[in-house]
A and B are shown apart, each in its own frame.
Chain A
Amino acid sequence: MFEAFIDGLLMILTWKALLYLFLGILIGYAVGILPGLGGGTTLALMLPFIYKMTPGEAMAFLLGMHSVVQTAGDITSILFGIPGEATTVAMIVDGYPMSKRGEAGRALGAGLSASLIGVIIGALVLLFSVPIVRPLVLSLGSPEMLMVIILGLTCISSLSGKGRRALLLGLLSAGFGFMCSLVGQDRQAGILRFTFGQLYLWNGLPLVPVMVGFFAIPEMVDLAVRGTSIAGKLPEGKLTKGVWDGVKDTIKHFWMCVRCSFIGVAIGILPGLGGGVAQWLAYAHAVQSAKTDEERAGFGKGDVRGVIGPGASTGKEGGALVPTVAFGIPGSSAMAILLGAFMILGIVPGPDMLTKYLPVTFSMVWILVIANIVTVLISIPIINHMARLTTVRGSIMIAFILLLCFIGAYCENNHIGDVIVMLLFGFIGYLMVLYDFPRPPFILAFILGKMTETYYYISTTRYGFDWIYRPKVIFIFALAVLAGAYPFLKGKLRSVVGGNR
């Protein structure tokens, strides 16, 4: 096994594989930074180029590209408040306020270093876990997956506000997200739901335009109202000094970072939940880690832990590779495309990947680590220059960000309808921010809506309502109830603990 591990490294240490790796990193970096250009789509676009490559070269190219997309996407989220990737939305919540406070360098330093830790942990999990995870993943059926989604939504809903009304508002927001996900052709009966006779809406509301509008437009309204640059009227020197502070912050909150990485890994392993969910749950955990109400109140206003948590969720990449490689079950849409790449290369995922192609499997571990180390090493020297972008005049930023929003939305389907959806959800997002409706539960429910319905349908069709009594379902549901009750119990628990002391 050790020999295969070294063979895996040697596979990517050839000049050709390294060249493809760097090319992949470069493309992934650009794709990650530009909103609207999705990592999955780019992966698909690059598939025709791998026909003449060896498995090692192709993996270096594709996986190198894919593994840096989220890290680069985090940069856009922090600096401009626009999700660089659909999976980097949670980074905006605290990263962008930090930029506005003149701490863009610190936020980027923390985000990148947390991301690196996340990827390394994900790669280690990939290395060690294939034999352990197999029975776990295969034991989760549709009812359990449905409950995992409910658990995720309850967590994010109860943690998205400060008061006891948080759960109510969070769930209301999630319900609205589910309602928006209903648009399009129903998967079970083929009925067209709320398409208003528009062919464009048959596939449902497109994800990227919804997210770009939902998150970028309110930030730009804010910029327009303030009439200053993103960082306001802060002295420029402050911006460029925080990178190492950010790295130190990650070291200071190392264990939280590790826990968030494992959350990423777990979500990555569970098929279909995707990177956006991993970031939000990691964010929810970061909020949960606050010890007092005062500490928690800092989240959403630029708490560095709100950057470290989502940053560390990059562990999902390693996690998502586990079911893809071992069982041929892709953990995300990007992994499904990677699965297609395996087929092109003549590799059949499954036992072969643990025997015949074991060096290829191990080369993936190396690629994840090397690609992200290179990305961080490239980024750190230029972070200060990137941070200076936050001092550019507001009107210039608005013009360029609007341009990115319009193009980013349009490129999803090359349809003007995407732009309209972006504007509509931009306005809805603005109203939600204005009237204190938490946006994270909406986005999570919107992403998971169709999947939730499918799991619900399969569960009911297959088991009737008996699925409710399955032990794992009861266990996960109990966790969800606990998560929901957390804001109510927290104060009482504290007074009990305080009283005992």
Chain B
Amino acid sequence: MKITGRTWMCIVLIALSVGVILTARTWPLKAAIFPIFVAVFVLVLAAIEIFLALFLKQTAKETSTLDFKLADAETLEIDEKTARKRVTVFFAWTFFFFLLILLLGFPLAIPTFFIIFLRFYGKESWGMTILLAAVAWGSFYGLFIYLLHVPFSEGWIFTLLKLLGLWE
């Protein structure tokens, strides 16, 4: 009996459903009835899925979906550990970009991210890195700031500097 990632996801869904039911009990009936119905529905289905996964033999065909498939390590001829490492590295870079946006704001975060990412992750030459960073920043600035006037919030660093009176 092996607990797979899918079973864990079902357990999380059951926990969420229980949370929804317990929270919805305190609401007026007209606001609570649909959430409770949905939560009970999910809870029952997740429980059935867990039962089937634990006690019935499942074939690969039975569990596959008609959706996009991630390339598996075997097909790519790399080991599982490398594949996992690449996934972690990708999410770390994504989070880093997000952090830059929070700290510097979009206009500065974009060229900064492009330069660091392309140089160190993509191993591009300095010339190519700077060119692509300029293209990204130029397109961003031209379309979203100059043409569409989208109000981008400033980064936390600048807000802090303003509060300290070090930036106008």
Residues in A whose Cβ lies below 8 Å from that of B13: 172, 175-176
Report whether over half of chain B's contact residues are helix, strand or loop; otherwise say mixed. Answer: helix
Q: Which residues of A contact B151 (CB under 8 A)?
A: 414
CA distance A190 to B13 in the complex (A): 26
Size of A's binding interface in residues, CB under 8 A: 78
B61 touches A407 (CB 8 A): no
Distance in angstroms between the alpha carbons of A453 and B9 in the assembled complex:
25
Residues of A210-262 whose CB lies within 8 A of B: 217-222, 224-227
User: Are A411 and B66 neighbours in the complex by a CB distance under 8 Å?
Assistant: no
A399 contacts B65, CB within 8 Å?
Answer: no
A80 within 8 A of B: no
Q: How far is the CB of A324 from chain B (nearest CB, A)?
A: 27
- Asked if A225 and B140 sit within 8 Å, CB to CB, the answer is no
Contact with A along B114-140 (1 / 0, CB 8 A): 100110011110000000100010001
**Chain B residues within an 8 Å CB radius of A182:** 20, 34-35, 38
Chain A contact residues: helix, strand, loop or mixed: helix
Q: Give A407 to B109 CA distance when docked, in angstroms.
A: 12
- B123 — which chain A residues lie within 8 A by C-beta? 395
Q: In the docked arrangement, what's the CA distance between A372 and B50, Å? A: 48
Tell me which of B5, B30, B97, B136 contacts A189 (CB under 8 A).
B30
CB neighbours of A367 from chain B (8 A): none
B34 to chain A, nearest CB (A): 4
A395-B117 CB under 8 A given contacts A165-B62, A179-B16, A225-B83: yes
Provide the A21-62 mask, 1 if CB < 8 A to any CB of B, else 0: 000000000000010000000000000000000000000000
A93–B110 Cα distance when bound, in Å, is 29
Task: Report the Cα distance A190→B28, complex, angstroms.
Answer: 10
- B27 interfacial by beta-carbon distance below 8 Å: yes
Chain B residues whose C-beta falls within 8 Å of the C-beta of A186 in the assembled complex: 27, 31
Q: Please indicate the chain A residues that have their CB under 8 angstroms from the CB of B95 in the complex.
A: 423
Any B CB within 8 A of the CB of A161: yes
* Contact (Cβ within 8 A) B42 A163: no
Closest residue of A by beta carbon distance from B90: A224
Q: Do B65 and A300 have beta carbons less than 8 Å apart?
A: yes
Kindly list chain A residues whose C-beta atoms are within 8 Å of the C-beta of B49.
Answer: 165, 168-169, 172
Tell me if A73 is interfacial: C-beta within 8 Å of chain B: no
B30 touches A219 (CB 8 A): no
In-complex Cβ contact of A407 among B6, B64, B106 (8 A): B106
Q: Number of B residues contacting the other chain (C-beta, 8 Å)?
A: 73
Minimum Cβ distance to chain A for residue B142 (Å):
12
In the complex, are the beta carbons of A407 and B144 less than 8 A apart? yes
Q: Is A225's CB under 8 angstroms from B150's CB?
A: no
Contact of A162 among B30, B66, B124 (CB under 8 A): B66
Complex contacts, B136 vs chain A, CB 8 Å: 399-400, 403
CB of A18, distance to nearest CB on chain B (Å):
24
B34 pairs with A453, CB closer than 8 A: yes
Contacts A191-B31, A395-B124, A396-B124; A435 near B94 (Cβ below 8 A): no
Q: Residues of B contacting A435 with CB < 8 Å?
A: 4-6, 9
Name the CB-closest residue of A to B46. A172
B166 in the interface (beta carbon within 8 A): no
- Nearest-Cβ distance from residue A121 to partner chain B, whole angstroms: 26
Closest CB-CB distance, B113 to chain A, in whole Å?
7
**Contact status B97-A406, CB under 8 Å:** yes
B67 contacts which chain A residues (CB < 8 A)?
93, 160, 300, 433, 436, 438-440
Q: Closest Cβ of chain B: how far from A230's Cβ, in Å?
A: 12
Taking the closest CB of chain B, its distance from the CB of A178, in whole angstroms, is: 4
Nearest-neighbour CB distance to chain B for A310, whole angstroms, equals 13
Task: Give chain B nearest CB distance to A201 CB in angstroms.
Answer: 14
Q: Are B61 and A300 in contact (CB under 8 A)?
A: no
Check B55 for interface membership: any CB of A closer than 8 A. Answer: no
Is B104 in the interface zone, CB < 8 Å from A? no
Determine if B52 and A395 form an interchain contact, defined as CB atoms under 8 angstroms apart. no
Once bound together, how far apart are the Cα atoms of A221 and B136, in whole Å? 21
Residue among A168, A399, A439 with the most chain B CB within 10 A?
Answer: A399
Q: Does B86 contact A (CB under 8 A)?
A: yes
- Tell whether, in the assembled complex, residue A161 and residue B65 are in contact, meaning their CB atoms are under 8 Å apart: yes
Asked if B70 lies at the interface with its beta carbon under 8 angstroms from chain A, I say yes
The answer for the CA separation of A375 and B59 in the assembled complex, in Å, is 46
Q: Which residues from B are CB-within-8-Å of A227?
A: 86
- Chain A 87-115, CB-CB to B under 8 Å as 1, else 0, gives 00000110011000000000000000000
Most-contacted residue by chain A among B31, B69, B70, B114 (CB, 10 A): B31
Contacts of B106 in A (CB 8 A): 406-407, 410
Q: Could you say which of B6, B121, B143 contacts A436, with CB atoms under 8 Å apart?
A: B6
12 sampled A-B residue pairs with Cβ under 8 A: A166-B65, A172-B13, A217-B94, A219-B68, A225-B70, A301-B69, A395-B122, A398-B93, A399-B117, A419-B98, A431-B5, A435-B6
| Beyond known contacts A186-B31, A396-B118, A433-B70: 17 more, CB 8 A cutoff | A162-B64, A163-B63, A175-B42, A182-B20, A221-B70, A222-B71, A224-B89, A225-B73, A226-B71, A227-B86, A287-B66, A403-B140, A407-B140, A414-B150, A414-B152, A420-B98, A437-B65
Q: Could you list which residues of chain B lie within 8 angstroms of chain A, going by C-beta atoms?
A: 4-6, 9-10, 13, 16-17, 20, 23-24, 27-28, 30-31, 34-35, 38-39, 41-42, 45-46, 48-49, 52, 58-59, 61-71, 73, 76, 83, 86-87, 89-91, 93-95, 97-98, 101-102, 106, 110, 113-114, 117-118, 121-124, 132, 136, 140, 143-144, 150-153
